[in-house]
Every structure is written in structure tokens, then in C-alpha cells.
């Protein structure tokens, strides 16, 4: 490679297009976001833009809307992540156990993942509709009282969880199936000679072998859950009574409906820190369970 390396100066030119984009749209915005978080910048007020130190963060921690949005985000993650991991793992095991038709079913399971969040939400809002919805059509046909799935404070968030599972399970299932196929077959053969039951095979071989991939699914689905926005924006717009207003929805409302950009930036940093803490905690837990 010596002959290639001699042309270093020319070589650097190849980095310039991406490098410029990276500096302008990644580095600058991060620095700028850090400055904004300590700034009062309200597009509606006539106040001058000025530095306010930690005021935005102090305000957030006392703001009942912020506290509630954090609770909603955590509740959503607690509801969806375990279900997501268990169901996608179950589906992957099911796919692996199929005597025929595996590729067709795999393709069908992933198709919802191709849908736009807007379209996926429209379909499910129609399903959940209090009057004309599919679920209530079934209930009414059985002579039961229809339920306002998205209009009840306790039901709205779980209803969105169900829709999100439908939307996202396929991708995780594909990843887990690929990992299942990587588990060395001789491990199973040896255990079977020793007379292991299929439950033992699952708990003593499959799950331990799959641990890194399962962690990958846990981490990515947690990150995704903390950033939930499209579904809640489309299906309930954060309601009823803010019971589905997560942190990203709060950032969006604060920045682009109330035009409090500085305050919204500080909330996005708080969200960033929450996500980081959770990822680090999950990674440490995994490392401990391996040792």
C-alpha cells in the first residue's frame, strides 16, 4: 500500500465532503445545543436572548409537565421492552422450529416494519376507534359495550404499546433468528447425549449463547422506547389528559408550539442523560452476569 500512501495530500481531499457535513451538522449542533440549554431563547417573547446558567434545568426538575412526561416515558418503556424482547425471542424460536415455510413467514413478520409511522398509526387508530373501530365492531357483535381504547387514561398507553409491538417485532425477530442459527450445533448434540430436556437446552445453552444479541435487543429497544414520538403524536397527540405525552413529545411541544427553544434544548439534554445512564447500567449488568 506504500504507493497509495505517498499521495496523502490528495487522499485528504476525499474526506472533505463528508467532513464538512459532519462538522456543520453534527459537531456544531452539539456545541450549539449545549449553549442553548443554558440560554433563555423564547421566540414569542420580546426578551433579549440571555444566559441563565442552570435555570432551565432547575425549572425542568420542578415542572410538573416534565415530571409527568418522564413518568409516561418510563412507564411506556417498562411496558414495551420486556414484551418486545420476550415476544421477538419467542417468534425467532418459532421460526427456527418450522419444518417448512420459514422464509415466507419471516418476510411477512417484517412487512409492518416497512410501514411509515404515520400509516401504521392511521391503521391502528382506525382499529381502536370508539365508534367505527374494528375492535369495537367485534365487541358490539358479541353484544358487549364498546371501549374507547385511545380515550381512556389507563388504556391509551397500553394500546399504543400493542401497536408498536406489531410495528417493530419483525426486525428484532430477524436479528434473533440469525443469532440462533449461529449457536454451535455440537453443544446441543453433546447435551442431548447427556439426556438434557428441551427446556434445559433452552435455559442452559440457547439463552447463555444468545446473551450478547439479547442485550443488543434490550438496549436498542430501550433507546427506541425512550424516544417514542410518532405513534403518540398521531394516535392520541399526547392525550387524554397528557397520559401519553412522552419526553420527545414534550420537547416538540415546548420548542415548536410554545417556541421556548432554550428550555426545550435543556429537556433534550436531560433525555440524553437518562438514555446514557440506562445503557451504561444495562451494559454493566450484562458484564456482571457473564463473569
- For another protein, the binding residues in 37-96 under the rule CB under 8 A are 91, 94-95
Question: Which range binds another protein by CB under 8 A, 18-26, 60-68, 70-78, 153-161?
Answer: 18-26
Q: What is the DSSP secondary structure assignment for residue 260, as one 8-state letter?
A: B
Helix, strand, coil percentages, rounded to 5, for the chain: 75, 0, 20
Residue 227: which of 88, 72, 64, 56 has the closest Cα? 72
Q: Is 110 in the site for another protein (CB under 8 A)?
A: yes
Residue 114 binds to another protein (criterion: CB under 8 A): yes
Buried b / exposed e across 80-113, counting CB within 10 Å, b at 16+? bbebbbeebbebbeebeeeeeeeeeebeebeebb
Least CB distance to another protein at residue 104 (A): 8
Site string for another protein, 240-269 (x = CB under 8 A): --------x--xx--xx----x--xx--xx
Of 58, 82, 101, 211, which one interacts with another protein (CB under 8 A)? 101
CB of 209 to another protein, least distance (A): 12
Segment interacting with another protein, rule: CB under 8 A, options 52-60, 66-74, 112-120, 280-288: 112-120
Cell of 108: 411477512
Convert residues 160-189 into a mask of x (bound to another protein by CB under 8 A) and - (unbound): ------x---xx--xxxxxx--x-------
Residues 189-228 contacting another protein, CB under 8 A? 212-213, 216-217, 223, 226-227
Question: Alpha-carbon distance 183 to 254, whole Å?
Answer: 48
For residue 39, give the DSSP letter.
E
Query: How far is it, in rounded angstroms, from Cα 80 to Cα 87?
Result: 10
Confirm or reject binding of residue 157 to another protein (CB under 8 A): no
Amino acid at each position: 500500500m506504500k504507493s497509495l500512501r505517498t499521495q496523502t495530500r490528495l487522499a485528504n481531499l476525499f474526506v472533505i465532503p463528508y467532513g464538512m457535513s459532519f462538522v456543520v451538522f453534527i459537531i456544531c449542533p452539539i456545541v450549539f445545543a449545549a449553549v442553548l440549554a443554558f440560554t433563555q431563547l423564547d421566540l414569542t417573547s420580546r426578551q433579549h436572548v440571555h444566559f441563565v446558567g442552570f435555570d432551565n434545568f432547575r425549572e425542568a426538575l420542578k415542572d410538573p409537565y416534565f415530571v409527568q412526561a418522564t413518568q409516561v416515558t418510563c412507564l411506556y418503556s417498562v411496558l414495551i421492552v420486556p414484551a418486545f424482547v420476550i415476544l421477538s425471542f419467542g417468534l425467532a424460536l418459532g421460526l427456527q422450529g418450522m419444518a417448512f415455510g420459514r422464509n415466507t413467514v419471516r418476510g411477512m413478520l417484517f412487512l409492518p416494519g416497512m410501514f411509515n409511522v404515520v400509516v401504521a398509526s392511521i391503521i391502528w387508530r382506525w382499529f381502536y376507534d370508539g365508534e367505527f373501530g374494528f375492535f369495537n365492531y367485534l365487541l358490539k357483535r358479541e353484544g358487549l359495550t364498546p371501549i374507547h381504547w385511545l380515550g381512556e387514561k389507563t388504556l391509551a398507553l397500553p394500546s399504543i404499546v400493542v401497536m408498536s409491538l406489531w410495528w417493530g417485532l419483525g426486525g428484532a425477530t430477524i436479528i434473533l433468528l440469525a443469532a440462533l442459527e449461529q449457536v454451535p450445533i455440537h453443544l446441543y448434540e453433546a447435551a442431548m447425549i447427556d439426556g438434557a430436556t428441551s427446556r434445559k437446552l433452552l435455559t442452559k445453552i440457547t439463552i447463555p449463547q444468545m446473551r450478547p444479541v439479547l442485550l443488543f435487543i434490550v438496549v436498542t429497544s430501550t433507546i427506541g422506547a425512550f424516544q417514542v414520538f410518532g405513534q403518540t403524536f398521531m394516535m392520541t397527540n399526547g392525550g387524554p389528559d397528557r397520559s401519553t405525552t412522552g419526553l420527545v413529545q414534550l420537547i416538540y411541544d415546548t420548542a415548536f408550539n410554545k417556541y421556548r427553544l432554550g428550555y426545550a434544548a435543556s429537556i433534550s439534554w436531560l433525555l440524553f442523560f437518562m438514555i446514557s445512564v440506562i445503557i451504561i447500567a444495562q451494559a454493566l449488568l450484562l458484564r456482571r452476569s457473564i463473569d
